[in-house]
Structure 1
Amino acid sequence: MGPLLALVPGEPAGIGPELCVRLVQTPRQDCRLVAFADPVVLQAAAQALGLPLNLLDSGASAAAPGDLPLVAVPNAVPSRFGLPDPRNAAAVIGALTRAADGCLAGHFAGMVTGPVHKAVINEGGIAYTGTTELLARHAGCEVVMMLANPIVRVALVTTHLPLRAVPDAITEHVLRHAVNTTMAALRRDFGIASPRLCVLGLNPHAGEDGHLGREELDLIIPVLDALRAQGHILIGPLPADTAFLPGKLAGFDAVLAMYHDQGLPVLKYSGFEQAVNLTLGLPYPRVAVDHGTALALAGKGLADPSSLLAAVRSCAAMAARRGA
């Protein structure tokens, strides 16, 4: 039957609901899904696509195309395609936290999430920087963001920060945690017995022996040397402009970038449609799509479901490796 996963479509006015409708048109062998959403929104998405949708009790089993067990999380006001309403922000966050509660309680083996609209959630009076940060606070743990596609995996030391704030944010604790969490996930969630991690430098040319910045000499290299002494296989710090060459990528299992736009443009260029966003360090697997709400496409049947399909496959495989 496969592990039981929580599925959260995200922003009700975006493409998330219709992607979920497309997802359940093909019965799965690798996992079982329970959605946390407004049933009216899902039915509207199915109608717009002209596809069957049979919403079931959350404890029921999907047996036919279009079957989807559901935990109903009603919106405050009706939702319209392409027109997000801040009054529904609480329902969007509520679906995420209720699914996370189920994961922490052991009812679900993992969570798959669709795209949310940060600005609309904040306009609704809820301080929100991202689902990664939300789930970390909810679980009371530190996490690492990783994006992955079939070509490369990129984990991040820092995430959504202004560029001028990045150097001060990279402390010994932060860098050690990022390396240790990424290596643990490569072993546990990806099944790599002896993972090899490439660590990028912060500065151009990885500092060029201190001529272009001292962060590599003063912090990054000492931390990596100490972690190598503990048995980690770490390559670097390498210059970011050459680390992603195919010949070098073949020599490691993931890349640890110092900041968001250092590693993610390469990943998205190499395979955006198949990319997924993983939260490493949670007590359960969480995988998200690597795209936004695409409000202009909502309800038109034009949205590509590839990232959601990849997210479900990835989460199911991670949950299975954890023995769920």
Structure 2
Amino acid sequence: MMPLRLALVPGEPAGVGPELCVRLAQLPRDYQLVAFGDRATLQAAAAVLGLPLRLLEPDQAGDQAGELVLIDTPNAVHAPFGQPDARNAPAVIEAMQRAADGCLRGEFHGLITGPVHKAVINEGGIPYSGTTELLARQAGCDVVMMLANPTMRVALATTHLPLRAVADAITAGSLTRTLQILHQAMQSDFGIARPSIAVLGLNPHAGEAGHLGHEEIEVIEPVLATLRAQGMDLVGPLPADTAFLPAKLRTFDAVLAMYHDQGLPVLKFSGFEHAVNLTLGLPYPRVAVDHGTALDLAGKGVADPSSLIAAADTCARIARARSRIIAP
């Protein structure tokens, strides 16, 4: 059996992603790490940090501190830290797609991704709503975005949509698929045989029995009843303003929020530094940082690598759970 190999994509070359990858490369690890990015950018990040970085060829092991196997994906132009250039958007997307393709072919056991600048990619002429959606299209499957930290796991019924489009996007079919993917991931990736999932309502007070909206009565409650009959442990729909109270939260393995800003601000407030972003439903584990490119910090050597380190640890743990690879 091949050793555990994880693909790593730094993301926006002008952001903090390259620095975070250099810091990750310094840590001891029991898996192989293969980066898809621009050689010169990674070397510049190492110079900023004053840290050693030995970039190796794809056929080398690269499992020692300070080493990083690199599949070079050159930028179109030099991108000084803090100054993104839309001409590099194709290289950012190419790195992501090449790494994900390697996962789909079984060359890697999982994918770790750094922060990407959505606006810059769109300015580069590439329609892009997020990496979650890009990877789902590439793999041809339905996925669920979930953020997690040591305190909670929050999945999303909808992801990067304008708020006025959210209600129409929550259908019986989409909600059923989301809960099925979430339930399965809790079992396969987190080892929870019968996960308890809290499902939030869409409207204030979960619709207040129809007085503040009908989505709970017409869509959410019937879906939950059907899936409960199939054996799922689903609680809700719950009012979002009280579902995250610590006493309640301790009884749930995951929370499903109806839209992006319903659940993620609470999670990030509870533990931003150690939170990670997972894409559930892919044929391979994908774990990302939960923060942006931090252009104002790029090139200064002060960016906190905690989220990327947590993402790598989480990806390795899930990859082992899926493939039963034992750490050496």
TM-score with structure 2 length normalisation? 0.97
Q: Tell me the amino acid that sits aligned with residue 9 of structure 2.
A: V
Q: Alignment partner of 2:252: what SS?
A: coil
Which residue of 1 is the match for residue 311 of structure 2?
A: 311
**Which range moves more in the overlay, 212-221 or 40-49?**
212-221
Name the CA distance, whole Å, in 1 between partners of 2:64 and 2:207.
Answer: 57
Following superposition, the deviation at residue 78 of structure 1 comes to 1.3
Name the CA distance, whole Å, in 2 between partners of 1:262 and 1:63.
Answer: 40
Following superposition, the deviation at residue 119 of structure 1 comes to 0.9
Which residue of 2 is the match for residue 60 of structure 1?
A: 60
Which residue of 2 is the match for residue 107 of structure 1?
A: 107
**Which range moves more in the overlay, 6-15 or 204-213?**
204-213
Which residue of 2 is the match for residue 47 of structure 1?
A: 47
Name the CA distance, whole Å, in 1 between partners of 2:42 and 2:160.
Answer: 31
Which residue of 1 is the match for residue 257 of structure 2?
A: 257
Which residue of 1 is the match for residue 21 of structure 2?
A: 20
Mapped contact 1:2–1:320 kept (Cα < 8 A): no
Name the CA distance, whole Å, in 2 between partners of 1:48 and 1:5.
Answer: 25
Following superposition, the deviation at residue 2 of structure 1 comes to 5.4
Alignment of 1:1-324 (within 5 A): 3-29=4-30, 31-323=31-323
Name the CA distance, whole Å, in 1 between partners of 2:151 and 2:63.
Answer: 34
1:4-57 superposed Cα distances (whole Å, 9 cap, x missing partner): 10000000010000100000112202x221000111110000011100000001
Between the two proteins, the alignment pairs up a number of residues equal to: 323
Q: Alignment partner of 2:224: what SS?
A: helix
Q: Tell me the amino acid that sits aligned with residue 174 of structure 1.
A: S
Following superposition, the deviation at residue 63 of structure 1 comes to 4.8
Name the CA distance, whole Å, in 2 between partners of 1:211 and 1:86.
Answer: 47
TM-score with structure 1 length normalisation? 0.98
Q: Tell me the amino acid that sits aligned with residue 171 of structure 2.
A: T
1:102-132 superposed Cα distances (whole Å, 9 cap, x missing partner): 0000000000000011111111111111101
Q: Tell me the amino acid that sits aligned with residue 136 of structure 2.
A: A
**Which range moves more in the overlay, 312-321 or 53-62?**
53-62
- Quick one: percent identity of the two aligned structures? 69
Gaps of 5+ in 2: none
Q: Alignment partner of 2:6: what SS?
A: strand
Q: Tell me the amino acid that sits aligned with residue 175 of structure 1.
A: L
Mapped contact 1:2–1:316 kept (Cα < 8 A): no
Mapped contact 1:52–1:65 kept (Cα < 8 A): no
Q: Alignment partner of 2:277: what SS?
A: strand
Following superposition, the deviation at residue 62 of structure 1 comes to 2.2
Name the CA distance, whole Å, in 1 between partners of 2:314 and 2:152.
Answer: 14
Name the CA distance, whole Å, in 1 between partners of 2:263 and 2:120.
Answer: 27
Gaps of 5+ in 1: none
Mapped contact 2:32–2:63 kept (Cα < 8 A): no
Q: Tell me the amino acid that sits aligned with residue 17 of structure 2.
A: G
Name the CA distance, whole Å, in 2 between partners of 1:2 and 1:260.
Answer: 36
Q: 1:93 to 1:225 in 2, by over 3 A?
A: same
Name the CA distance, whole Å, in 1 between partners of 2:296 and 2:166.
Answer: 33
Provide the alpha-carbon RMSD of the alignment. 1.0
